[in-house]
Amino acid sequence: MNIVVVNICGALNSGDHTQLVALLKVINEAYPQARVTCVHRNPELHAEILPQFQWVESLGTSHSMGRIARRLGNMERLLPAFLRLPGLLPPAQKATYTALRGADLVVACAGGYLGDPGPHVYTALLHLTLSRHGRLFVFPQSIGPMHSLLAKHLTAKVLRRAKFLLVREPCTYDYVTQEMGFDREKVRLFPDMAFYERDVDADGAQAVLQKLGLRADERIAATTLWPSSRLGVPESRYFQILGAAARTLLKDHGIRTVVLRQAGDAEGIEGDTHLLHQAAPYFGDAAVMAYDYHAPAVLRGIVRTSQVTYGTRMHGNVFSLAQCVPTVAISYNHKTEGIMQMCGQGRFIIKLQELQLPFLLDRLQEALQDQVAIRLSLREYVAGFQQRREELVELLRRC
């Protein structure tokens, strides 16, 4: 059996990496003899990270320098695939086309790439349509809302080919069943795939904390950063509020903040190192900046030792929730809000556009005061998520 996994966000973001590893384990359990091919814009890099799978290059990938040249290159490489003219594709992408056409099952990787559309949405949809057999399985997604009627129509048309459509928040479930008209028997609500990968490298985490100059008995909080300017919030204001919160945690509770790097750098992909450098002056001595990129298991180990987290990156929050650590989520998107609500933590959501220091401090204080009850509650939610993994494997087998 040939299975092709498409629309992979990448292994250089610890959250996306965790989702992907969990997804590949489910595929292996459902179809242990299958040949699995993974599609990404940087196949050589990912072949080094996950060498047990075949890696091929995403259709439309252009390595041209400069945004305009790269966009034109993307179109030049997408058009032959769209017209079913593989002979005009570059060799690396012709292999991808061949793999998709011969796939017994195409798997849409978990993620949030079917949202308010840019050009990437149409590229993602093209990858989902090329299998001759038409069998499609969609792992837990955030879908919509889409303001483009064309994107909404095409997305609904393509996803109707799926045997099952898995979504990862109640708001996405409502969107696809009410706005897109999907049959509720086909749509299933599941947690984010990162909840299924909970391995912790405790020794690696302690080594990192020691390297950062923290004592073994020092109380810490963890945070992750997001480019707030994308949502119209000046990064200076965003960093100023987080830095002030860190100083209050240190002064009032003896808790020092560790600012974690979640995204690495690769060709055409900017990680979050620059955000840590920009933020450092605002945190001062109240925080230590973890500039190095660490494996997801190490990050989970650091988060597990935290008294509380107050992160903006969605999967940084998922790591915290999965380790049953009180989490204040600074939400830049409805997917963060939905995941927090699925874990019974709706009171600890702060929308990025509404971020104010007094409100953040109130939520942190509440999380610290109620942390025993919060940890017990999260254990129940996470245990329930784990029990649903077998259901996920069985649904995939039914394809």
Tens of pLDDT, residues 152-208 = 999 999 999 999 999 999 999 999 999 999 999 999 999 999 999 989 999 999 999
Q: Where does the pLDDT of residue 83 fall: very low under 50, low under 70, confident under 90, or very high at 90 and above? A: confident
Mean pLDDT of 61-80: 73
State the chain's mean pLDDT as an integer.
92
Mean pLDDT of 93-111: 95
User: Start-end ranges of CATH 3.40.50.2000 in the chain?
Assistant: 202-384
Give the per-residue pLDDT at 142.
94
Domain 2-196 has CATH 2.60.40: no
> Pick from 307, 319, 207: which is nearest to 255 by CA?
307
Give the per-residue pLDDT at 78.
85
Tens of pLDDT, residues 212-230 = 999 989 999 999 999 999 8
Residue 61 has pLDDT above 70, yes or no: yes
**Greater pLDDT, 267 or 144:** 144
- 83's tokens: 């017209």
Class of domain 202-384: alpha beta
